[in-house]
Amino acid sequence: MQLSKNFTLEELTRTHSNLPNIPTQADIERLQALVNNVLQPLRDLYGKAICINSGYRSKAVNREQGGTSRPLSQHCKGEAADIEVVDNGLLFRLIRTHLPFDQLIWEAGNDYQPAWVHVSYSTKGNRKQVLRMKVVEGKKRYEAM
């Protein structure tokens, strides 16, 4: 199912898990909002393909991938995607500067490039929360940016 010119439902629900990962109609509607408001406009700004590492996740898939359960991960609601390109820092800056978002996270990496970018969009209002995830002594830690 084509969600926009450059994004499909298949790529936003793909998983490397053998667990079921089937979104509800409400989840698909939230994925559509994420695509319409963030991902497709970002693709248009960036001008090149964007790799979706993780989009929608069932609760079981989210648990298997170490995602948060309290509160329920935005991935489980169809509100978030982890994305990457050659220049993840540029993607992060384009989103932060030009697009609406609920949460934007510089995931791991270094001071110049995140390993990937987490972005979410909520139809119920966006917090514009910007965080950086670091791994310290094997544990994830999130800091405001």
Hey, what domains does the chain have and what are their CATH numbers? 9-144 (3.30.1380.10)
Strand locations in the chain (E): 51-54, 80-84, 103-107, 116-120, 129-136, 139-144
pLDDT for 72: 76
- Please list the ranges in the chain whose pLDDT falls under 70: 69-71
Round the average pLDDT of the chain to a whole number and report it: 94
pTM of the model: 0.93
Determine the pLDDT at residue 62: 87
How far apart are alpha carbons 38 and 109 in whole angstroms? 22
Q: Residue 36: its pLDDT value, please?
A: 98
